[in-house]
Amino acid sequence: MSFPASRHISPWVDTLPPPELGPTGFRDDASDVLVLGAGITGITTALLLQRAGLKVTVVEARRLAGSVTMHSTVKVTYGHGTLYSKIEQKRGFDAAAAYAEANVAGFGEILALERDLNIDCMLERGHPHVIYAEQPEEVEAVEAEARVAERIGLPVTLGQEAPVPFEVAAALHFTDQAHFHPGRYLAGLAEAFVHGGGNIIEGVRAREVSEESHHCTVGTAAGKLAAAHVVVATHYPFLDRGGQFSRMTARRSYGIAAVLPGGSNAGMAINAGSPTRSTRTVMLDGEELLIVVGEGHGVGHVSETGQRWARLQQWAQERYGVTDFRYHWSAEETSTLDHVPFVGFAAPGSNRLLLATGFDGWGMTNGTAAAMLMRDLILERDNSWAATFDARRAETSLPGKEFVKHNLHIGKMWLKDRVGGPPNGSPEELEPGDAAVLKVDGEQTAAHRDENGALHAVSAVCTHMGCTVGWNDGEKSWDCPCHGSRFNPDGEVLHGPATAPLSKQSLG
């Protein structure tokens, strides 16, 4: 399936003016807290801690706002598909209510920060976010979500109207939700943080953290840094002190944006069925764009990823009549097996090392709530959601059916790569654009010939825990099916948990 041309970049990355940060750089500033990762979770945590009087440094492997936050649909909402009913099923009603309380607080904090700091981030509120059933068999899921949301006390209404140009069988409205430009919002937070005396170190990947009785030390390629507390806000955490890896999954999702003809019926909506179609609109550079996100799959499990954009475009064309496509992009998101993020101290006995991950596709309010919770934990303040989100529950809760299934799958991926392994072959035979994992001189080799004819060959063994990477043709990257690490054709880390590159393979 081919798809009409559009630019391979997210609309937010394309329209982000560079933030005015002033001097930043690698220096050991004797900080109270080191925050690793400068997405919405890391930057919000850093700013909230600074506002509470602590000295904070942010360490970012790539660029400020360089990762998932900038590839999101960016609905700022606490209407999260059918998550309240799923959480109630897995953890009980109180956990669903605590999840709601945290996300409502995260929503309020975003509005308050935007207002207090006067951030020009195109924030619009007043829109409903609508979870709809298109098919009769999806109605029960939407009604079940409505029942839990009503019992929690969330402002919802159930009907049959959705902001989509086709009929639906049921529609749950979360009223008065919002959306914004994530880059402009993060730039506003980062500018306030740096002007308040904080430092953001860009281009430095954290590789290890040691936690001692009075402080933590972070090892990076540029040297060591120390602080009383360390917050790992790197999306997928690069350390697993509390057994989180065995209870997390990593998925990739795809996004497209197209010019929406005037008068179209469109707003923030998501279907309850499958495949996912999450929609919203945005005015960018004087044009109204329709954004459609969906077509998710486990990272590293699909090679022909370009097809995913084609399917989204076809759906948008059929349903909305759009033909003028502007952007396409993809990104990764993590989930926990019980759908509640892991937030808090990283391991039993840990009281200086914290992490936040597993936002299940809803990281605007969850990431902000995580920042509020981690601030409270560091300041030893009470927080009523702490127990529900406790990242250490991974270690203590009993393995369920999904835990066994998930870890059997990872075990199989690992074993498959060792028993038999990839076929023998010669990378020299690859045509421009081709990629393959081959056994070359006994080594598992990930080889790609780029469109200019140059051959790139690296070890196919993921530097995280040794699974074999697979090719992602849409993003031209090597993706790991075990925990979602991603590497470019020269082996450089694009996404953790891996912190070290794939080693270069010499050919011939």
467-486 footprint of ligand FES as x/- string (CB under 6 A): x------------x-xxxx-
10 touches ligand FAD by CB under 6 A: no
Query: Three-state DSSP class for 366?
Result: helix
355, 343 Cβ separation under 8 angstroms: yes
59 touches ligand FAD by CB under 6 A: yes
Q: Which of 128, 257, 496, 502 binds ligand FAD (CB under 6 A)?
A: 496
Task: Output the furthest CA–CA distance in the chain (Å, rounded).
Answer: 67
Nearest in space to 155 (alpha carbons), one of 198, 135, 126: 126
Of 80 and 449, the one with the shorter C-beta distance to ligand FAD is 80
Q: Which of 106, 182, 255, 497 binds ligand FES (CB under 6 A)?
A: 497
Cβ-closest position to ligand FAD: 363
75 touches ligand FAD by CB under 6 A: yes
Residue linked to tokens 């035979």? 429
DSSP string over 118-185: T--S--EEEEEEEEEESSGGGHHHHHHHHHHHHHHT--EEEES--SSSS--SEEEEEEEEEE--HHHH
50, 26 Cβ separation under 8 angstroms: no
Binding partner selected for residue 149 from ligand FAD, ligand FES, none, CB under the kind-specific 5 to 8 Å limit: none
Q: How far is CA 219 from CA 173, 188, 265, 347, 463, in A?
A: 47, 29, 51, 19, 17
Binding partner selected for residue 277 from ligand FES, ligand FAD, none, CB under the kind-specific 5 to 8 Å limit: none
Binding partner selected for residue 60 from ligand FES, ligand FAD, none, CB under the kind-specific 5 to 8 Å limit: ligand FAD
Phi, then psi, of 336 in degrees rounded to 5: -95, 165
- Give strand pairing partners of 159: 171
445, 503 Cβ separation under 8 angstroms: no
Of 234 and 244, the one with the shorter C-beta distance to ligand FAD is 234
Residue 19 is which amino acid?
A: P
Strand positions, DSSP E, 180-275: 199-201, 206-211, 216-220, 223-232, 248-259, 268-271
Q: Which of 62, 125, 151, 301 binds ligand FAD (CB under 6 A)?
A: 62
370 touches ligand FES by CB under 6 A: no
Q: Which of 127, 181, 448, 464 binds ligand FES (CB under 6 A)?
A: 464
Minimum distance between the CB of residue 110 and ligand FAD, rounded to whole angstroms? 10
- Give strand pairing partners of 486: 479, 495
Binding partner selected for residue 73 from ligand FES, ligand FAD, none, CB under the kind-specific 5 to 8 Å limit: ligand FAD
Minimum distance between the CB of residue 89 and ligand FAD, rounded to whole angstroms? 22
Query: Three-state DSSP class for 303?
Result: coil
Query: Three-state DSSP class for 134?
Result: coil
Which region among 44-52, 126-134, 417-425, 460-468 touches ligand FES (by CB under 6 A)? 460-468
Binding partner selected for residue 482 from ligand FAD, ligand FES, none, CB under the kind-specific 5 to 8 Å limit: ligand FES
Q: Interface residues with ligand FAD (CB under 6 A)?
A: 36-42, 59-62, 66-69, 71-75, 205-206, 233-235, 238, 253, 255, 293, 331-333, 359, 361-365, 367, 496, 499
Residues that bind ligand FES (CB under 6 A): 462, 464-467, 480, 482-485, 497-498
